Structure 1
Amino acid sequence: MDAAVSRKRSRLALDDDATADDDALKRSRTQGELEELDVIRPEDAWTVDVAAMLASRTLPAPPGSSLRPHNNAHRLRNGSIFVLCVQGNVQLHYDLLWQAPTCPPAVRRPLTAPSSVLPQLYAVSPSLQALVLCRDPSAHIPSAAATYSLPLVQAVGPGYNHFVRLGLLHPLGGGEHPLDALVVIDGRAKRRLVLPFGWGAGKHADTSAGHIVQTHLVKLLTSCVEMLARE
């Protein structure tokens, strides 16, 4: 065999091994970061001013959008659980509320696909309230994949910034843009769960390999609401 060809094949084999090692390391790191996410104990959780949030300017849907307004306000009561879709530039976490986690084409879907997330949450906690927290509802860019619009709450206004109060102000966002996340607030106005999207443990959620991340985050969201409903 030609020595040059042999050396070339050896280098290719080494490159393949290095790529496989890098992929395994990335998966290991991502899995480790996901495992660190958990429901916050009540005594360690921040208190959120839910009343101020509900009093903020709110639109039922983005202006000019074809999305149908959806809310569960008629079931709101003292002790309702809130799921906040804190939204800057990422659409995935909003879309996940209306559908099951996406599955890459190379992965075979189960015969019975998982159902949409938000109806599952309503079934566990009928008075649950789902809201979008965005910088400016009138300029908010709606999802292209969803059918419904959750109420859009203005998070930044004169004298208040809900992103700051939730600990989700983007460090490079000029004081007005958030770190995208799903946040669960319990019936005592405590911030009990933060699920990051596009950063932290959720930085790979919107990639071709994001199915495992999406599935883990949705499972944690559901189990958190189930736990809070029993408290």
Structure 2
Amino acid sequence: MTPRSRAGSAESERNRGGRPTAAQAGELDRRIRHAALDTLLEHGYEATSMKAIADAAGTTKPTLYTRFPTKEALFLEVLGWAIGRPDWPVPEPPEPDPADLEGALTAIAHAALTRTLHPDMIRLEQIAIGHAAAYPDLAKSTYGTGTWPRKRLVVELLTRHARTGAIVADDPGRLAELFLGLASGVAGRLASFGIVLDADERDRHLNAAVQLFLRSLRPD
């Protein structure tokens, strides 16, 4: 079934049954987000139209505009949604063993770098950077580190080992942000300019980041 016929079917069902159910509305929202993300990644922000997104989602422009009054509103919604997803662009791995500080930090750093250097994430980052000046709240609303699940893991890990005296971590939240920046921040920024670390470089980068961070935590 083509997007247009799917849209017609969805609209006719809605018309026959009155207002859509919560499940139907949720399914449509899901389709819109996925369609918008795929279209943005393929064509970029400027070349993506609301009609193209509506067609890809199997709905109509009027329906799309009832949910998102502007392309900017849809862009901000989809950007935040994509970045916050634990299954995109790759699924998050299981939480590491917290008893092994070095092993857990290595696993967390590896997951962060894998996500950062995925081609879809690099492309989304490039689009976001290209429009950051036009949307000044973009970085704060979508890239703020306060609610990162991965940051929470590092905070819990540092707090646990600081209690035993194995490390000194007076400000676990700040240290977690610094560690994640060390693990993936620089590599991600380079990737946004087309400079992507190869597999060997990634391994060396991860090892250096973890060892440097561990040395900074050692008690005097």
Answer 1 or 2: higher relative contact order, Cα 8 Å, separation at least 6: 1
Normalising by structure 1, we get a TM-score of 0.24
Write 1 or 2 for the structure with the bigger share of helix: 2
Normalising by structure 2, we get a TM-score of 0.24
